[in-house]
C-alpha cells in the first residue's frame, strides 16, 4: 500500500526507511539539506539522496556548490 504524503510531496510505502537518511550541511552558510524532506521548491522531491541530486544543484541560501556540503546523520 502506498500513501500520498502532502507534507513530503511523494509516495511513502511501509518499507521506506527515513531513519537511514542523512542531512547535509552547507559549510558556507549552515543551510541543511535533509534527505527526508528534499528541496521541493527547487524540484528535489522528499526522499532524494544527496548523491542523486544533480551536480548543478546549489545551496538555496548562498548558492554554494554540492562539494561545500558535509554529511551529518539525522
Flag whether pLDDT at 17 surpasses 90: no
Whether 16 is covered by a domain: the verdict is no
Q: Let me know if 64 is exposed, middle or buried by CB neighbors in 10 A (0-12, 13-18, 19+).
A: middle
Structural domain total, the chain: 1
pLDDT recorded at residue 21 = 86
> What is the chain's mean pLDDT, rounded?
83
Flag whether pLDDT at 46 surpasses 80: yes
Instruction: Return the CATH number at 56.
Output: 2.20.28.10
Q: Do residues 40 and 46 touch, judged by C-beta distance below 8 A?
A: yes
- Whether the pTM exceeds 0.75: the reply is no
Q: What is the mean pLDDT of residues 4-32?
A: 70
pLDDT recorded at residue 10 = 53
Whether 39 is covered by a domain: the verdict is yes
Between 21 and 25, name the one with better pLDDT. Answer: 25
Q: What is the domain range of residue 40?
A: 3-11+21-73
Amino acid at each position: 500500500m502506498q500513501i500520498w504524503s502532502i507534507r513530503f510531496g511523494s509516495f511513502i510505502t511501509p518499507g521506506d526507511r527515513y531513519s537511514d537518511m542523512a542531512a547535509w550541511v552547507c559549510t558556507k552558510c549552515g543551510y541543511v539539506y535533509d534527505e527526508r524532506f528534499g528541496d521541493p521548491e527547487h524540484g528535489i522531491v522528499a526522499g532524494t539522496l544527496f548523491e542523486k541530486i544533480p551536480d548543478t544543484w546549489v545551496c538555496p541560501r548562498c548558492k554554494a556548490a554540492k562539494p561545500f556540503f558535509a554529511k551529518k546523520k539525522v
